[in-house]
Chain A
Amino acid sequence: MSHAFFRSIFRVLPLLLVLSPVNSSSCTMGNKTAEIRVKYENILSHDIDELVNMSAEYRDRCCKNKKHEHSKVFFCNDTQEIESLQSMACNMLKFFNKQKISKEFRWKAALVSCGTLQVLQCKCERHKKEKVCTQVNTHNNEDRETGEQSKKKCNHEFCELKENISSLRSCWNKFEKIISR
């Protein structure tokens, strides 16, 4: 009897794996390109510009030597721009708690990530990352470091975040170009 029970379980589990869609996107705004475009142009693009400008102010001399070492590279794949943006945004959230990076910079990066996920109506695989967005959206301007403290030493995590930001912006540019007439 127990053998039959376990056999039935073992049949169902592989069946579930087969039936579940491969690489399923958890983004629900995929077809609403007009709405995405409005939100991106009117709100998100300005935050991205500010983040890029902020990124350019920090010392990045160490980033040129340590490029592509132990860092995940994200590409904006053709016909999979939304999925690529989702991956980039979710990955950027991991920098929120990195103490070696300026708090102001981390918050802004998290804001852009959460904005991207919100516009595309995406979720991240690790659900606890959404807690970051809740924290960022509710405590927008509190407990930020002043400008003097933001001049931290160049480090690998900062370089990786900077690379991530650049990729995210390029992918948004690509997506905007595709959906524009």
Chain B
Amino acid sequence: MAVPAAFLAPILLLCGLGLRLAAAHGPTGVECVLFNEEYMTCVWGSRETLTTNYSLYYWYENRSPVVECKRYLWDRGVSIGCHFNQSEIVQFQPFHVLLNASLNGQALEIRSKRMELQDLVKPGAPVNLTIRNMSSNQLQLTWSSPYPKAQCLEHAVKYKSNKDTSWIEHGVKGDIFSFPSVDYEKYYTFYVRSKINSYCGSTQLWSEWSVPVVWGRNTTSKGLAEEQLQWFWIHTVLVPIASCLLLLVLVVLLVRMERVWVILMPRIPNPSKNFDELFITHNGNFQEWAGVPKDMLESFKPNYSESICYVSELPSREIHDPQWDGSNRLPGGPGAPAPPRA
């Protein structure tokens, strides 16, 4: 049993070592980027992925001997990259990098593939974004670039309004972008980024997005934000309060001015109470209750007296008395002729 164990131990040791080396995540390659053609960094890992310090050597084909990196980039005590000055960068010459390290007595060497530095240029983000109003609802966006060769750049413009849910992106060759029809009720946000065009290189490295520029209503600049706040207070606080106060004043005035109140809110007459006065106060005297003037009352009273003339039918007699030929009448009746006097 001891013999198999003796064979197993080295095997297990080798497996452990292999796993450890695998887990160490040595550099998988070197990534170089030229930032705006001002400086370059070549990075081969991070503190988490590297277990030892690597040395970087570089050379250009057809020129220069092999040179070691002069400025290493460090991450918590581990070298992770190299910084190149502008004077150390040569474009359009094949560039080679070699990483060297020793781990547990073993020399580690990693050669990068041949690089063309003009294809690794990352321009600086565009600056000075400016929007101008053109005629017929058109906007014109212009910018400038920190990259020295503007004609070697192509750009991309990204924009969105406050009513849109997603960004819209357009490719632009020059440094002017025309937005054809703008809605004045919306506000727009614009970003721009740049890349070396295919005439001057072959790269997929876009610059970072620029600082945004906005246009339209509800812009977020400081002065306009304050003005917005003022309008907010006016619209949502002052106006309702003033309206309520005005309404209150009107109501109070209305209540106080009875003439106006009576017109707006006329009393509904209650006849029952009025008739109480007729019967209780005036003892049923309608004229007095109605307020008929006294002289009018007097005028209705007759100012003469008349005696009543009674008319009766006499009993029937001999109507032969010629003196009494129907023309005799009793004295006193009106219109009755007086009896003849003999």
Contacts and interface: CB of A to CB of B under 8 A. Distances in A.
A and B: interacting chains: yes
B151 A173 contact: no
Interface string A160-181: 0000000001110110110011
Interface in A42-87: 45, 49, 52, 73, 75-76
Interface string B91-127: 1110000000000000000000000101000000000
Contacts of A52: 202
A174 B201 CA distance: 8
B199 A176 contact: yes
A47 to B, nearest CB: 12
Contacts of A45: 198-199
Interface residues of B, number: 16
A40 interface: yes
Contacts of B150: 181
A150 B22 CA distance: 41
A5 to B, nearest CB: 48
Contact of A173 (B61, B62, B93, B200): B200
Interface in A88-146: none
B202 A177 contact: no
B200 A180 contact: yes
A181 to B, nearest CB: 6
Given A75-B62, A76-B92, A173 B149 contact: no
B116 A41 contact: no
A73 B200 CA distance: 22
A49 B149 contact: no
Contacts of A49: 198
Contacts of B198: 45, 49
26 contacts: A40-B199, A41-B199, A45-B199, A49-B198, A52-B202, A75-B61, A75-B93, A76-B92, A169-B202, A170-B116, A170-B118, A171-B92, A173-B118, A173-B199, A173-B201, A174-B118, A176-B152, A176-B200, A177-B200, A180-B149, A180-B151, A180-B152, A180-B199, A180-B200, A181-B149, A181-B150
Interface of B: 61-62, 91-93, 116, 118, 149-152, 198-202
Given A75-B61, A181-B151, 11 more contacts: A40-B199, A49-B198, A73-B62, A169-B202, A170-B92, A170-B116, A173-B92, A174-B92, A177-B152, A177-B200, A181-B150
Q: What 3 A-B pairs come out closest when comparing CB atoms? A: A180-B151, A174-B92, A177-B200
